[in-house]
Amino acid sequence: MNVSFILILLLFGTFATYLAGDKFAKTVALFFSLASVAGSIFILNQHNAGIDESFMINWISNPNIYIALKVDGLSLAMLLLTTVLTSLILFSSFGNNYNNSKSFYALVLFMSFAMVGTFLSADAFLYYIFWELALIPIYFIALIWGNGDADERKRAIVKFFIYTLAGSLFMLVAFIYLFQKAGSLLIGDLYAIRLTENEQFWIFAAFFLAYAIKIPIFPFHTWQANTYQMSPSVGTMLLSGIMLKMGLYSVIRWQLPIAPLAAKTYMDIFILLSVIGVVYGSIVALKQRNLKKLLAYSSLAHVGLIAAGAYSLSFDGLRGAVLQMIAHGFVVVGLFFAAEIIERRFQTQEISEMGGIRIQDNKFASMFMIVMLASVALPSTFNFIGEFTLLYSLYNVNIWFAVIAGTTIILGAVYMLKMFQHVMLGEQTDKVFKGITIQESVVFVIIIAVLLFFGLYPKPINDLITPALQDIVTKINKL
């Protein structure tokens, strides 16, 4: 069994889910998603035992294109993140009823398929296909099952679709150029080409457009808040928890090692943009009245920090970025799930219409609070490790980057605690908050367990990603 099995499993699961019909779709989807988790764990064990489960066959002989899937610590970490979070997201949606749920759940699994493919691909052509493929299911999920006014939603979602698609086209052009040079699109061959500084600049810039929009990095973020707000919570979680990590992952996997010289030359600019995103996102979040939009801007701030760390090109920066990608994935799913739980009961996302929830459901309040504290990087949560490492890597570039990005620990506390106060605390209002269900608590308990466990003992993830990141750092520094 090699890693392609997981892709086949997810694709098969997509069809099976659709065929299972509306009644059983979610169960079947969850089953296949959990099977993909099991498969990932199996691959992890093989990897730890030193068995390489990579996969490569020639797909098209002319031009020379391979179906190449690479397993290393980095792709494995992302594989696990995707499969585990998809399962969690699927499970979290069990409390909802969707029209045409067989299509809905099939699309979710298909999305998981495309994202896993993106993380595993070691051939640029294949990678590009998966990258674009991931856009299709989320487009439909957001458009059809989203909330809010239909016209407004269409406007926001189509914007998101066109915008990200347009950015990716530049990446495609870059790949075509690289193919001309290397005669192959295998990642190893692309790493090996020697590009002039000028060429690197254009390649880097083309990649940057694609990734900056996907991540998103300031000022390419305008699709984000509205898309997050209008997607159904499953869509928001998929987008914020996993899909934006495709951009961050690609920076580390494709952009930096292929154009290291450009990365080094323009490092300060890209860090600066990312850091501006951190502060800007935090400040805009202060005045949001819509809970999901507030969380979207907070997410903008957090991924800005991750991008800044990655662009610092240091080992610490890359490691911090990967750790924080995982931590952020769990936290953001937890936060949006909390918003969903409230929306299920109050039918609103407006913060001003909430309040007095803690007094009615203390259990939910406690769990929400723990996730919120993780998101503001309280030490002993996983996010602290990521944030500390990232800020330290920025310090090593320039103390002011660390100070400016560090304001996130203050501003993050401001908008999060303010949000929590108005959403959860205070006297009971006339709105009745029905206590959270066991199924809902299970999702929280899993998230909290992950956040606390790796917050205290991140060694397993460190051990997994370190060799792969060392390879990449060596490549970046080998000029």
Partner 1 sequence: MEKNLALVLLLAPLCGFLFNVFLGKKAGKGIVGIVGTLSILVSFVASMYFFSLIQSTGKPFQVDLFKWITLEKFNVNFSFLLDQLSVLWLMFVTGIGTLIHMYSISYMHDDENMHKFFAYLNLFVFFMITLVMGGNLLILFIGWEGVGLCSYLLIGFWYKNQDYNDAAKKAFIMNRVGDLGLLIGLFILGYLFNTLDYATLKTAILSNSDILSNPLVGIAALCLFIGATGKSAQIPLYTWLPDAMAGPTPVSALIHAATMVTAGIFMVTRMHFVFDLAPYVQDVIAVIGAATAILAASIGLVQNDIKKVLAYSTVSQLGLMFLALGFGAYEVAVFHVITHAFFKACLFLGSGSVIHGLHGEQDMRNMGGLRKAMPITFWTMMISTLAISGIFPLSGFWSKDEILMTAFHGNIVLWVVGSIASIMTAFYMFRLMYLTFFGEFRGTEEQKHHLHESPSLITIPLIILAILAAIGGLISLPGNSWLNHYLAPLLSKGEHAAHHLGTTEYVLMAVATVGALLGIGLAYSKYIKNGEVPPQDSEIKGIAKTLYNKYYVDEAYETLFVNPIYRLSHFFRNYFEVFFSEVVFAFGKIANAIAIQGKSIQNGNIGLYLFAFVLGVSSILIYLFLV
The minimum distance between CB 434 and partner 1, in angstroms, equals 20
Cα–Cα distance between 234 and 222 in angstroms, integer?
20
Burial 98-136 (b: 16+ CB within 10 A, else e): beebbbbbbbbbbbbbbbbbbbbbbbbbbbbbbbbbbbe
User: Which residue lies nearer to partner 1 by CB, 15 or 457?
Assistant: 457
| Token reading at 140 | 């439909």
Cα–Cα distance between 124 and 252 in angstroms, integer?
14
In whole angstroms, how far apart are CA 288 and each of 20, 55, 195, 348?
41, 47, 45, 14
Answer for the pair 296, 229: CB distance below 8 angstroms, yes or no: yes
The minimum distance between CB 414 and partner 1, in angstroms, equals 6
The answer to whether residue 417 forms part of the interface with partner 1 (CB under 8 A) is yes
Q: Phi/psi at 207 (nearest 5 deg)?
A: -60, -40
Site for partner 1 in 212-251 (CB under 8 A): 219, 221-223, 225
Site string for partner 1, 163-202 (x = CB under 8 A): x--x------------------------------------
The answer to whether residue 360 forms part of the interface with partner 1 (CB under 8 A) is no
Site string for partner 1, 317-336 (x = CB under 8 A): --x-----------------
The minimum distance between CB 384 and partner 1, in angstroms, equals 8
Contacting range for partner 1; rule: CB under 8 A; set: 140-148, 172-180, 276-284, 429-437:
276-284
The minimum distance between CB 149 and partner 1, in angstroms, equals 17
Contacting range for partner 1; rule: CB under 8 A; set: 7-15, 57-65, 304-312, 418-426:
418-426
Q: How far is CA 251 from the centre of its chain?
A: 13
What amino acid occupies position 390?
L
The answer to whether residue 421 forms part of the interface with partner 1 (CB under 8 A) is yes
The minimum distance between CB 438 and partner 1, in angstroms, equals 16
Site for partner 1 in 20-79 (CB under 8 A): none
The answer to whether residue 459 forms part of the interface with partner 1 (CB under 8 A) is yes
Contacting range for partner 1; rule: CB under 8 A; set: 69-77, 80-88, 282-290, 338-346:
282-290
The answer to whether residue 399 forms part of the interface with partner 1 (CB under 8 A) is yes
The minimum distance between CB 447 and partner 1, in angstroms, equals 18
Cis check: omega of the bond before 232, within 30 degrees of 0: no
End-to-end CA distance of the chain: 37
On the CB side of 176, how many CA atoms lie within 13 Å of its CA?
A: 6
The minimum distance between CB 129 and partner 1, in angstroms, equals 24
| Token reading at 195 | 């590009």
Cα–Cα distance between 71 and 67 in angstroms, integer?
13
CB count, 10 Å around CB of 52? 12
Answer for the pair 119, 93: CB distance below 8 angstroms, yes or no: no
Site string for partner 1, 376-395 (x = CB under 8 A): --xxx----x--xx-xx--x
Binding site for partner 1 (CB under 8 A): 159, 162-163, 166, 219, 221-223, 225, 280, 283-288, 314-316, 319, 358-359, 373, 378-380, 385, 388-389, 391-392, 395-396, 399, 402-403, 406-407, 409-410, 413-414, 417-418, 421, 425-427, 456-459, 462, 466
